[in-house]
Amino acid sequence: MNELSGKVVVVTGSTQGVGEAVALACARAGARGVVVCGRNESRGRAVEQQLIELGAEALYVPCDLGEEADCRRVIAECDAKFGAVDGLVNAAADTNRGTVESTTVELWERQFRINVRAPFLLVQEAVRVMRREGNGGSIVNVLSVAAYCGMDNLVSYSATKGALATLTKNLANGLRRDRIRVNGIKLGWTNTPNEHVVQKLQGSGDDWLERAERESPFGRLIRPDDVAELCLFLLSERSGIVTGSNIDYAQRVMGAIPPGN
């Protein structure tokens, strides 16, 4: 299927996990250009090569999304190479944990820089290109169900995702006259390489994934390819005029009262 034929898409956090799956899915869907970015250059170059092998032009931009200049440079380099930005997927995030007592000012500020300010800056620059070209566009922000509340060790992370969820709706409202759609995906528990790292840091056993999937209603956790398919839908014309939606993608219904409560 060539749902993104001729399109140019920028995907942050695309050196691994959800972002990598989205970037590869874009190439398979016929995107003419895919921009990969992140701090891990060896992984970035590897994903870039995979995209080329799938038939897309690819560009890896090394960057730290905690830095304003790097955020702006990602879009500038995309524009310089491809002359367009048709889609943007903000998949990068700092997911470090912290309770109300253990969360430092440094963690709080870094998570807001990466999880909220970086998407804003990337959208700001991408919108300038989209408006110039006059072809509309689609932006997808990868959120989390933690935006509703979050666990007690996700204090600042939950706050960033709540902020990004509101920003998603605000941007969608402000950009609809330009035919630029903005939507979010609120992810539940997802099986990613970073989640394995986090689980080990929390002291979970080697069988954490097996146990988690056994206890899940659908018998498994969300996978990066699952998220990539939903991103493709939102990036493509299949989603029509959908904008301003923050879609819950989880195995529990948010707002439902747990049994026994």
DSSP string, 163-205: HHHHHHHHHHHHHGGGTEEEEEEEE-SB--HHHHHHHHHTT--
Which residue carries 């702006």 as its tokens?
72
Torsion angles phi and psi, residue 93, rounded to 5: -165, 150
12 by DSSP, 3-state: which? coil
In terms of phi and psi (left: phi > 0; alpha: psi -120 to 50; beta: otherwise), the region of 136 is left
Spell out a b/e string for 145-167, using b for 16 or more CB atoms within 10 Å of the CB, else e: bbbeebeeebbbbbbbbbbbbeb
Which residue carries 């026994």 as its tokens?
260
- Identify the active-site residue in 60, 148, 157, 249: 157
- Number of other CB atoms surrounding residue 131 within 10 Å: 15
Cα 116-62-3 angle, rounded to 5 deg:
75
Task: Answer whether 161's CB lies under 8 Å from 119's CB.
Answer: no
Active site annotation includes 148: no
Residues marked active site are found at: 157
